[in-house]
Chains A and B, each alone.
Chain A
Amino acid sequence: MDEAVPVAVVGAGHCGLAMSACLRERGIEHVVLERGEVANSWRTERWDRLRLLTPNWLSRLPGQRYAGDDPDGFMTMAEIVGFIDGYARAIAAPVRTRTTVTKIERVAAGYRVATDAEALECRAVVLANGACGVPLVPACAAQVPARVETFTPLRYRNPEDLPPGGALVVGASATGLQLADEIHRSGRPVTLSVGEHVRMPRRYRGADIYRWMEELGLLDQRYDEVDDIVRARNVPSPQLIGTPEHQTLDLNALTAIGVKLVGRLGSIRDGKALFSGGLRNNCAMADLKLGRLLEQIDASIREQSREGDVEPSERFPRTTVDEAPALSVDLTDGAIRSIVWATGFRPDYSWLDVPVFDHKGRIKHDGGVVAAPGLYALGLTFLRRRKSSFIHGAEDDANDLADHLAAFLESTRSGPSKGTSQARSRAR
């Protein structure tokens, strides 16, 4: 006989715990299933030198604020693990650690959640197992010659993992830039393959870029307010790094230390990696987009007559692109010894046996309300708001979805026939 629990939350990271707090507040009995320890991905799937991209003052969860003395600093992995772990204890979350979900399927009462321990029967399930469970690797990865070692960010820990010699880093989001920087500085000459990217200075006019984005309301922008949510969800993470020095890490900074920029990886043919000739346009687009963001910030400062209180406006040099960036790199001559795929992630729902996926394998949801009654997702890029994948984004999303979930439980208590649409409208 399966154990009956009204709600199962999959994953005890910041999202799952935020949901746990919201459920408890509403008096909803639940368990949080965690395959490892609390904050498992932060403990086991991040590289050594990584720090959060968001400053400490933005690190908050329902009922918990950053209380340290460096609000503008950036947490190391050990610090964020401590922060989330402390939160789990503070809210006394009903976490079952070392419990791996192996299958979730529909049953009459809701969902059967099979784990490597006992199985549960739940009326609702919240998927909070992270947006970065599976590293995305382009199809052409299959053509990489055997002598070139390949890494994903989940496996990579530090440059010393890589063989000596040149490295090709594919992808120019925060991950790609950070890894390109530390690998190149380790004495392994880096070629960086750059597609569409988002350029941002760490600080602008005396404040962290996220301070301005928060003030402008950009982080709170809702998924049903943007023009094209599919596109918004596919925007790569901004080129940022969290360091004690508040360093800006952009393509120009990498070029300055000798990293070689090439276009987007198109294919690998006859042992050669072939790159797009469109690098210049991708850089131009990112420069223009950065210009528009800074203009927006400047305009807001002007409107509030705060010119005197902040540092003067500035513009950053355009991204420098070689006259003729390389269009191919030979992967057989020994110059490139490793490839790092910084080409994004997708969530791991391999155990979710419910027909809620679109033709591209993405989970179908409306702001986290998944296309199956009583099923919810949290923590995905731009799930409900631009901040949804940020630590502090969990709070509002979890509150909204907990409201929806509570209404769903309420409406289905007397029978499954009524109220789903009513429940659906609650979270709007």
Chain B
Amino acid sequence: MGTKAKGRTKKNSAKGATKKAARKAVKRRAKRKDGVIDNGVDVAALLAAREALTAAPEGARFKWKATCDWVNGTHSRSDVKGFFGLGADQKHRKRFSFETDHPEIFASADNGATPVELVLAGLAGCLTAGVASVAQRRNVQLNSVKATLEGSMDLQGILGIDGDVRNGFDDIVVSFEIDADASREDIEAIVAQSQKRSAVYDIITNPTNVAVVVK
């Protein structure tokens, strides 16, 4: 699995980025004319939480939860709402649902992303959140961040054609295009630190014990 960081200077910033991201970048530049670095991350709160959980490590024990209902065929709906942390049950602001299915070339109805695409989305979301947080902590203004992910997979694995081929991704490449007021090296360091602190990156790159039980 590799992550390619691509740092760019202000001059060519709009070139490859989508129009929407470019518009946002312009907006952000206007917003921070007063010189305040603002990536929308409350670093003070994060640091306070870190300090609090250092003192009370039991509060750091979290349980993330999801439920999944089969709809039909390969189509399922997963929901997340509650989780446990800071010693108590917690709730998201609202219930979030994720439809998963397989595309039509697998003779499915394509009612949602494939589960493996959700994994890519999870990785991208985690790394990108990390980039924003680390950049904020390092006083680097981000103008736009775009991650493009590719996970390679040989279907001979899940189809049981070749026992030597694994089911999952054999390789994941994450390419970041980042427009920030920082040198390329600083941007690379931010992306590296984001990987170092990423939960999903760890989940994907390291083995995890999984217990699947039938109630």
Task: Tell me, rounded to whole Å, the shortest Cβ–Cβ distance linking A103 to chain B.
Answer: 29
22 contacts between A and B (CB under 8 A): A266-B206, A274-B207, A276-B205, A277-B1, A278-B1, A278-B201, A278-B206, A281-B3, A281-B192, A281-B195, A281-B201, A284-B188, A284-B192, A285-B189, A285-B192, A285-B193, A285-B196, A288-B185, A288-B188, A288-B189, A292-B185, A359-B57
B164 within 8 A of partner (CB): no
- 19 additional contacts (CB under 8 A) given A277-B1, A277-B206, A291-B185: A196-B196, A266-B206, A266-B207, A267-B207, A274-B206, A276-B205, A278-B195, A278-B201, A280-B1, A280-B2, A281-B195, A281-B201, A284-B188, A284-B192, A285-B193, A285-B196, A292-B189, A324-B171, A359-B57
Contact A278-B207, Cβ < 8 Å, known A288-B185, A324-B171: no
A residues in contact with B192, CB < 8 Å: 281, 284-285, 288
A residues in contact with B188, CB < 8 Å: 284, 288
Judging by beta carbons under 8 Å apart, are A277 and B204 in contact? yes
Contact A278-B171, Cβ < 8 Å, known A284-B192, A288-B192, A359-B57: no
A269, A280, A291, A359: the one contacting B207 at CB < 8 Å is A269
Judging by beta carbons under 8 Å apart, are B196 and A276 in contact? no
Per the bound structure, the CA–CA distance linking A263 and B2 in Å amounts to 13
B residues in contact with A196, CB < 8 Å: 196
Which among B57, B195, B202, B204 has the highest number of chain A CB atoms within 10 Å? Answer: B195
A residues in contact with B3, CB < 8 Å: 280-281
Is chain B's interface secondary structure helix, strand, loop, or mixed overall?
helix
Task: Tell me, rounded to whole Å, the shortest Cβ–Cβ distance linking B121 to chain A.
Answer: 18
B residues in contact with A292, CB < 8 Å: 185, 189
A residues in contact with B207, CB < 8 Å: 266-267, 269, 274
Per the bound structure, the CA–CA distance linking A263 and B207 in Å amounts to 12
A residues in contact with B171, CB < 8 Å: 324
Per the bound structure, the CA–CA distance linking A281 and B202 in Å amounts to 12
Task: Tell me, rounded to whole Å, the shortest Cβ–Cβ distance linking B142 to chain A.
Answer: 18
A residues in contact with B185, CB < 8 Å: 288, 291-292
Per the bound structure, the CA–CA distance linking A277 and B192 in Å amounts to 14
Contact A277-B196, Cβ < 8 Å, known A288-B185, A291-B185, A324-B171: no
B195's closest neighbor in chain A, by CB?
A: A281
A321's closest neighbor in chain B, by CB?
A: B2
Task: Tell me, rounded to whole Å, the shortest Cβ–Cβ distance linking B114 to chain A.
Answer: 21
A-B pairs, top 9 by smallest CB distance, nearest first, are A277-B205, A266-B206, A278-B205, A277-B1, A281-B195, A274-B207, A285-B192, A266-B207, A276-B205
B residues in contact with A285, CB < 8 Å: 189, 192-193, 196
Give chain A interface residues in 270-288, CB to chain B under 8 Å: 274, 276-278, 280-281, 284-285, 288
Give chain B interface residues in 122-173, CB to chain A under 8 Å: 170-171
Task: Tell me, rounded to whole Å, the shortest Cβ–Cβ distance linking A230 to chain B.
Answer: 8
Task: Tell me, rounded to whole Å, the shortest Cβ–Cβ distance linking A329 to chain B.
Answer: 13
Which among A196, A263, A266, A284 has the highest number of chain B CB atoms within 10 Å? Answer: A284
Per the bound structure, the CA–CA distance linking A196 and B197 in Å amounts to 12
Task: Tell me, rounded to whole Å, the shortest Cβ–Cβ distance linking A257 to chain B.
Answer: 25
B residues in contact with A359, CB < 8 Å: 57
A residues in contact with B195, CB < 8 Å: 278, 281
Judging by beta carbons under 8 Å apart, are B189 and A281 in contact? no
Task: Tell me, rounded to whole Å, the shortest Cβ–Cβ distance linking A12 to chain B.
Answer: 36
B166's closest neighbor in chain A, by CB?
A: A327
Which among B3, B170, B196, B207 has the highest number of chain A CB atoms within 10 Å? Answer: B207
Task: Tell me, rounded to whole Å, the shortest Cβ–Cβ distance linking B197 to chain A.
Answer: 11
Give chain A interface residues in 191-211, CB to chain B under 8 Å: 196
A residues in contact with B206, CB < 8 Å: 264, 266-267, 274, 276-278
Task: Tell me, rounded to whole Å, the shortest Cβ–Cβ distance linking A264 to chain B.
Answer: 8
Task: Tell me, rounded to whole Å, the shortest Cβ–Cβ distance linking A266 to chain B.
Answer: 4
Task: Tell me, rounded to whole Å, the shortest Cβ–Cβ distance linking B145 to chain A.
Answer: 17
Per the bound structure, the CA–CA distance linking A280 and B172 in Å amounts to 12
Task: Tell me, rounded to whole Å, the shortest Cβ–Cβ distance linking B151 to chain A.
Answer: 12
A residues in contact with B196, CB < 8 Å: 196, 281, 285
B50's closest neighbor in chain A, by CB?
A: A228
Task: Tell me, rounded to whole Å, the shortest Cβ–Cβ distance linking A422 to chain B.
Answer: 27
Per the bound structure, the CA–CA distance linking A359 and B202 in Å amounts to 24
A291's closest neighbor in chain B, by CB?
A: B185
B58's closest neighbor in chain A, by CB?
A: A359
Per the bound structure, the CA–CA distance linking A263 and B1 in Å amounts to 11
Per the bound structure, the CA–CA distance linking A280 and B189 in Å amounts to 13
Per the bound structure, the CA–CA distance linking A264 and B207 in Å amounts to 11
Give chain A interface residues in 208-240, CB to chain B under 8 Å: none
A residues in contact with B193, CB < 8 Å: 285
A282's closest neighbor in chain B, by CB?
A: B196
